[in-house]
Structure 1
Amino acid sequence: MKLYIIFLLLASNSFSQNGILSGTVMERDASGAGFPGVLIELLQNGQTFAEAETDFYGNYLIDEIPKGNYELRISYMLIKSIIIQDFAINETTLIADFIFPEPCKKSKRFCPNNHSDNIIPIEYGFPSKKMMRKAKNGKIKLGGCDSSLCDKWHCTIHDLDF
């Protein structure tokens, strides 16, 4: 009987060492509706440690996560990923809800690398002949058909969208 009780104590202690991450990913442009098919990844040293995909309602669950700090990446097809550094998991259930993609921030025609020359606008949507000419001449960058992306400017020196 003593052996059985010791086993139960050790087993319950080992189960309590792991945490659970759950929550909902909501679409930015859909009044808080759940966002299905979004990939939630926990990374350690740049490698995927655990992952889950959101269901039809935007809910996700990752369990049996060892206590520690991770990098959390939220991604969906061609939308810019959200990356959160030093995402701490402990022995409890952590509920983390996200709006995805992130709300757009106003950006100025100024490169994050501290210069304002060689900055061109990014144009979204189906390109006209005039837009194609401008893109060929390096006056604009074509951003594709998804106009919900936040990047408004392109630095031609650093090949950086912001």
Structure 2
Amino acid sequence: MSRLISICILFIGCSNSAFAQTGMLEGLLSDKRSTRGFSENATVSLPDLNIGAISDANGHFVILNVPSGVHKVKVECIGYRDTTIAQVSILAGKTTPLNINFPVGCHFLNQKGRRCPYCHREDAAIPLVYGLPDAKTLRMAKRQKVQLSGCMTTGCDPQWYCKRDNKEF
């Protein structure tokens, strides 16, 4: 009888580990300058799987039930450049730690003035306009005094457009 119970326990233990097909991703988002947790409400996602989490006030995040395998992880936060980690291995039944040092600031916010960083000219740069344009803005866009740039903004958006190089900066 005890042999039968031992075999049943062994079978149940093996079957539980055999069926564990997901793991967990847990980590901390930190600022490269301070290396402390920095951002509440940053989005950490696995875009190919359409799952993710929002970081807490200390930059901590947890994503449960991640299918085992190698996945791409994307981190987005307003005012910071998006960061993508191409290959993160998730092991079934395990917690994968992932601490990310986020780039400091938005590179578009560091732009001073309207001098194009490509051709280094000011006379080729015009302002970018976001949102639904009114009639006056449409006329200005037709005369190439402004460049229409879409309705959605992220907090890390270019402010100028170079007519010569066809680039936003």
Q: Which residue of 2 aligns with 1:100?
A: 102
User: Which of 96, 106, 109 is matched with 2:117 structurally?
Assistant: 109
2:14 corresponds in structure 1 to 9
Cross-structure match for 2:36: 32
Call closer, same or farther: CA 1:30–1:61 in 2, change over 3 Å.
same
Task: Quote how far apart the aligned CAs of 1:84 are.
Answer: 2.8
SS at match of 2:17: helix
Percent identity (aligned)? 16
Question: Matched residues in 2 for 1:24 and 1:73: separation?
Answer: 13
- Give, in angstroms, the shift of residue 159 of structure 1: 6.1
On the 8 A contact 2:41/2:77 being kept in 1, the answer is: yes
Query: RMSD of aligned C-alpha atoms?
Result: 4.4
Q: Does the CA-based 8 Å contact 1:109-1:153 persist in structure 2? A: no
Structure 2: which 5+ runs fail to align? 129-140
In structure 2, how many angstroms separate the alpha carbons of the residues matched to 1:87 and 1:122?
40
Tell me the equivalent position of 1:73: 74
After superposition, give the CA deviation of every residue in 1:106-145 in whole Å (9 maximum; x if it has no partner). 99823xxxx888963879xxxxxxxxxxx97349x9xx9x
- Paired residue type of 1:90: L
Is contact 2:44-2:52 (8 Å) kept? yes
Partner of 1:137: 145
Checking the alignment, whether the CA contact within 8 Å between 1:23 and 1:59 is kept in structure 2 is: yes
Q: Residue 100 of structure 1 aligns to which amino acid in structure 2? A: F
Higher strand share: 1
1:42–1:70 Cα contact (<8 Å) kept: yes
The partner residue of 1:23 within 24, 27, 34 is: 27
Q: TM-score, normalised by structure 1?
A: 0.58
Q: Which residue of 2 aligns with 1:132?
A: none
Matches within 5 A, 1:80-95: 80-91=81-92, 92-95=94-97
State the 1:85 CA deviation: 2.7
CA contact (8 A) 1:19 1:66 kept: yes
Measured against aligned partners, the alpha-carbon deviations of 1:3-40 in whole angstroms (never above 9, x if no partner) come to 3320221102323x432211111245666342111111
**Where does structure 1 lack aligned partners over 5 or more consecutive residues?**
124-134
1:57 partner SS? coil
SS of residue in 1 equivalent to 2:26: strand
Kindly state the Cα deviation for residue 42 of structure 1 after the two structures are TM-superposed. 0.8
What corresponds to 2:136 in structure 1? none
